[in-house]
Amino acid sequence: MSGHAITTLTGATFEQMVLQGEGPIAVEFMSYSCAYCAALEPVLQQAAGMLAAQERIFRINIGNDEDLAESFGITGTPTIVLFQNGSEVGRVDGPEPDLNAILAELTQPFAA
């Protein structure tokens, strides 16, 4: 999906991009069959574009990577897990599709 600010990862690329990644990283665990994920998508894309200089945002399709979702205890979608230098620093279960709320939830764990 060119032109989109969120990159889809797989279990094969997750370790290199997230666990070995530096700085703030957000990972949305989602499913293409989830209506709530679809409602969140345009707002999350907008937030990702605004935060691109400070934070990377990725997505994992749990339908393709069930083992990875299970290893992080993902029980529902969407769930956003926040990482700092490869360590989990927070998570947001079922965030509201509101730009200001998403921006706050994506940046708050990284505030000094």
Q: Hey, what amino acid is at 13?
A: T
55-98: pLDDT as tens digits = 999 999 999 999 999 999 999 999 999 999 999 999 999 888 89
- Owning domain of residue 13: 8-88+95-110
| Residue 2 located in a structural domain | no
| Residue 3 located in a structural domain | no
Report the predicted TM-score, pTM, of the whole model to 2 decimal places.
0.92
What does the pLDDT read at residue 50?
Answer: 93
Q: What is the CATH number of the domain that holds 52?
A: 3.40.30.10
Q: Which two tokens stand for residue 16?
A: 């290199």
> What's the number of domains the chain is made of?
1
Residue 6 banded pLDDT, cuts 50, 70, 90: very high
